[in-house]
Amino acid sequence: MTATSSTPCPICGQQDQVIKVSEFKASLADPDSTVNTLLAGKTPEERAAITRRLAAPAKPLPLLPEKPSSGYILTLLFLVALNWGFGVQVIRGEAILLVQVLLLLCMATLLVVAVLFVYKYSMYRKELIVANQPDPEWQRGRDRWKRQYYCLRDDNLFEVNQ
Ligand SMILES: [Zn+2]
């Protein structure tokens, strides 16, 4: 497995110690790789510093929107139960005027809460899609990282535009 690239370093003009940054981690895991041969002369601190420097840019955690409160569901269930209670009395013809008025109020409230809940939930779904889209700044950083090479001789990180 060869990890050195055919890209010459702009400082020393040689390519024998140039590695592709995005392949560094995989080469490190292979004990027979050129990267490990090249790193053999380095101290553990130097190795750690190089590993940190060549690591892929960390993907930022998405800022997730807040889910609509479960209070909506509880309120809806409560209103359905109330409607049921008043409705049964009205259907049986046992309801006094107050109960009939309460039923109407209860049905109207149920409708309002249901519409509000559907609206909040659809907004939440939309925000969730936006939040899960990859961060453009991170994507640019990652694209740059993929174009980078590193020369161990001069500790030189450089970019190649193909
Ligand atoms: Zn060099």
Which pair of structure tokens corresponds to residue 44? 């553990």
Question: Residues of the chain with pLDDT > 90: what percent?
Answer: 69
User: Any idea where the domains of the chain sit in the sequence?
Assistant: 18-60+135-159, 71-131
CA 61 / ligand 1 centre spacing (Å): 36
Quote the CA–CA distance of 126 and 114 in Å, as a whole number. 18
Quote the CA–CA distance of 49 and 43 in Å, as a whole number. 10
Cβ burial of 9 (10 Å; 0-12, 13-18, 19+) is buried
CA 2 / ligand 1 centre spacing (Å): 18
CA 150 / ligand 1 centre spacing (Å): 8
What is the pLDDT, as a whole number, of residue 162? 58
**Chain center to CA of 82:** 42
Does pLDDT of 74 surpass 90? yes
For the residues 35-62, what does the mean pLDDT come to?
92
Can you tell me whether residue 143 is helix, strand or coil? helix
